[in-house]
Amino acid sequence: MRVLFVFIFSFVVGESVRISAFEPPSDPVHIIVLNTPKCATGNLQNMFGTLLKCDAVKEVGEQHILRSCPDGSSVFRSHDTEATEKYYAEKGTLNNGRCVVVSAVRNPKTFLYSRFFETQRNVLCHGSNDIPAVLAQYGDWLMHFGPDAYRAPVVAGLFGLNDFKNVLEKMHDGGGFFHHFPKHDGVVFGDCELIMLQMEKLSSVSHRLLNTFPGIANISSETTEDTCPDSKDVRDALKHMQLNSTMQERFFGPGRMMKNAMDFYSKFG
């Protein structure tokens, strides 16, 4: 396998590291978009699929989509960390070329109201004349929605990065971009890199992605603002609704999956 090396600065000041640069079509590149729903999953899949010229849908499962590319590369998309880990443990294909797992973080409060809006899109897309009723419905939904649905900390944990607060701090130092390099320790993703992105800063980290994947371009999908412009009042009300203490504890209390992310966004916005 031919590998070209480029230098970039890591997030530890003064430390430089060597990473293998993407140079199609010499080496297959396996991109695994392993992400929380409503955190730019489609955008990321399209960005890498376009870069690698992936057209054919090779496999579609209940938990994943795998697109094949002409040079043997692939772009895999899933929201299920356990199913993805099992899939690649059985396939054993990640040592053929370069492997990169890509995930994103998002403000947990906007993540929550966005997930709720999607469940009621057909009703709320055209707005509502009864905002208080919508907020009451949202409050009820929050008390039934799984508090551990935020998967970014789980993805980081697959790489032994169990201090998610530290990952977020390094991502902040990188302007919304965090890059972890392979440890080759024999675990399923041991030969893979991890790139963690801050969803709100995708457009501003394009230069870092270009350093790692020359030729990649930011491809934006249609947003809810585009597809449901009449729902602005509803979305604004959902966004600014104050969660009561029970809801706060349920989602952001000690030991909860979203706690570190909520602390991060409360500090840095």
Q: Can you give the pLDDT at residue 11?
A: 31
CB-CB neighbours of 62 under 10 Å: 6
Is the separation of the CB atoms in 21 and 30 below 8 Å? Answer: no
How far is 183 from 193, CA to CA, in rounded Å? 9
Q: Average pLDDT of each block of 10 consecutive residues along the chain (269 residues)?
A: 31 33 65 95 92 88 88 93 92 83 96 96 95 98 95 95 96 95 89 95 87 84 88 96 96 95 92
Residues whose CB is less than 8 angstroms from the CB of residue 106 and which lie 6 or more positions away in sequence, other chains included: 36, 38, 39, 40, 198, 199, 200
Strands (E) located in the chain:
4-9, 16-21, 29-34, 56-60, 64-68, 74-78, 98-105, 177-180, 192-198
CB-CB neighbours of 157 under 10 Å: 15
Is the separation of the CB atoms in 31 and 76 below 8 Å? Answer: yes
Is the separation of the CB atoms in 58 and 38 below 8 Å? Answer: no
How far is 269 from 260, CA to CA, in rounded Å? 13
Q: Can you give the pLDDT at residue 101?
A: 97
Instruction: Give the distance from CA 39 to its chain's centroid.
Output: 5
